[in-house]
Amino acid sequence: MVINALYQLHMLRRNQWLPLYELKQIQFKKLKALISHAYKNVVYYHKLFNSVNIKPDDIKTPGDIKKIPVTTKSTFKSQPLHEVIARNVDIKKCVRRRTSGSTGVPLYIYHTWQNKVFQTLMNLRILLDNGVRYGDKIAHITDTRHNWSQEYWFQRLGIFRKYFIYAADTAEKQLKVLKDIKPDVIYGYSSSTKLLAEEIKKRGRREINPRFIFCNAELLEPGERELINLAFGVELIDVYGAVEVADIAWECPAHEGYHLNIDNLVIEFLKDGKDVLPGKEGIIVCTNLHSYAMPFIRYELGDIGIPSEKMCSCGRGLPLMDLIRGRADDFIIMPDGKSVSPLVFIIPSIPGIGQYRIIQNRIDNLLVQIVPNRDFSENTTTALKEHIKRVTEEISGKNTINIGVVKVDDIPRDSSSSKLRRVISEIKSI
Ligand SMILES: [Zn+2]
């Protein structure tokens, strides 16, 4: 098993340098195998294929994937468990993880051990290719209540030693633990890493000196990257992933975009069911090519990405995606029915705002909670209202939304995921 894992890691690290057409061949071979498996062993997909009258043999070219209907998160969640689990897989031998449930009830995901190991290897590729060394200590700032934290044998031998830090703890507490650990690598939610960066900035001294900062799970807002880079004195590396499909895309040391893991996933960017052109925004739809216990085929994640035609100067064959929008945040539904990306509403640096959260509690009302900092004045509220008014006018041609601002002491994290959600819409559709 160990030799097999090392071989797989070697192949994964080799794969990324292959030309794009060879990567696509690997991807299509895996796709065909997964589709045959899902049709044969998973009730949900068997019914789904039958509903559009296709059989696995009808998937003859990569483009034929479009014949399979997209499955949304809510459709997937509403299926009975036994209909989305492969009947030839023993669920008791699977690894169970849960999604954050940021849009409601969490979903439990089952991975076979082989898939779990493969996902770990995919993540190791990101670490190693960015310069992390086998002996480095890694501090994970995450939701320790739900994260799978069992040690691998190699971690007990001092290879990639992992330490878990609870994301909902205060920055002071996290910093205290980090000072004891002295990590070489910090891997965490961007909101937590930002709070740590602010704490370091406030103290005026660094006290910890990680060589690498990896951020995942949440959207990086404008200015946050610079703040984190400056506070830690290193350039942060962003990783985009989802529990259902593992790491989707990541930055290499060249920082020219996010490399798409197309040797593990089929990643589509769709608008109205069709592929968007390079440079245009599309909803991200993923097929996890190694998900044999609970297959995810054309699964809509709800995040927004921009596919790129440009190849990275690093020379990797893995294609690039330009930007990620969405993640834990909701879309705002405008009174005219338009669904607007949360990034559009993100508040630029207005003096006086420490943290904030936008809540759409009615179709025509946004409530902005702010934690004021020492620069807060009446001008803060005016500037904030003007910003949101300008945004809504740009979207709808006129301002059709009321804006309320309240000062709060704290913005609590999402109770089920510990993520910090900045944009919440209680309006799901009209
Ligand atoms: Zn690159």
- Distance (angstroms) between ligand 1 centre and the Cα of 315 equals 6
Euclidean distance between CA atoms 160 and 127, whole angstroms: 10
**C-alpha dist (Å) from residue 156 to 98, 138, 268, 412:** 25, 13, 38, 35
**C-alpha dist (Å) from residue 214 to 98, 175, 189, 261:** 22, 16, 9, 17
- Distance (angstroms) between ligand 1 centre and the Cα of 341 equals 27
- The pLDDT mean for the chain works out to 86
Which of 190-194, 200-204, 237-241, 404-408 is predicted least confidently?
190-194
pLDDT above 70 for 420: no
| Residues whose CB falls within 8 Å of the CB of residue 374, separated by 6 or more in sequence, listed in order | none
Q: Of the ranges 32-41, 224-233, 352-361, 377-386, which is most confident?
A: 32-41
Q: Which residue has the tokens 């330009």?
A: 322
- Distance (angstroms) between ligand 1 centre and the Cα of 286 equals 21
Query: Mean per-residue pLDDT for 28-46?
Result: 98
- Distance (angstroms) between ligand 1 centre and the Cα of 262 equals 14
Helix (H, G, I), strand (E, B) or coil at 297: coil
Q: Which residue has the tokens 């070489």?
A: 184
Q: What is the number of alpha carbons within 13 Å of residue 115 lying toward its C-beta? A: 27
pLDDT tens column, 243-271: 888 899 999 999 999 999 999 999 999 98
With cut-offs at 50, 70 and 90, classify the pLDDT of residue 327. low
Euclidean distance between CA atoms 424 and 383, whole angstroms: 21
- Distance (angstroms) between ligand 1 centre and the Cα of 239 equals 13
- Distance (angstroms) between ligand 1 centre and the Cα of 282 equals 22
**C-alpha dist (Å) from residue 216 to 43, 109, 152, 412:** 33, 19, 21, 19
- Distance (angstroms) between ligand 1 centre and the Cα of 111 equals 29
Structure tokens at 124: 């190791």
- DSSP β-ladder status, 71-72 and 299-307: parallel
Structure tokens at 300: 């809509």
Structure tokens at 103: 């849009």
- Distance (angstroms) between ligand 1 centre and the Cα of 127 equals 13
pLDDT above 50 for 32: yes
Per-residue confidence (pLDDT) for residue 47, from 0 to 100: 97
Q: Report which DSSP code applies to 197.
A: H
Sheet strands (E) in 243-333: 246-250, 258-260, 265-271, 274-275, 282-288, 299-307, 320-325, 332-333
Which of 64-73, 169-178, 347-356, 375-384 is predicted least confidently?
347-356
Listed residues: CB within 5 A of ion ligand 1:
252, 254, 312, 314, 316
- Distance (angstroms) between ligand 1 centre and the Cα of 309 equals 13
- Distance (angstroms) between ligand 1 centre and the Cα of 206 equals 29
Cβ atoms 388, 401 nearer than 8 A: yes
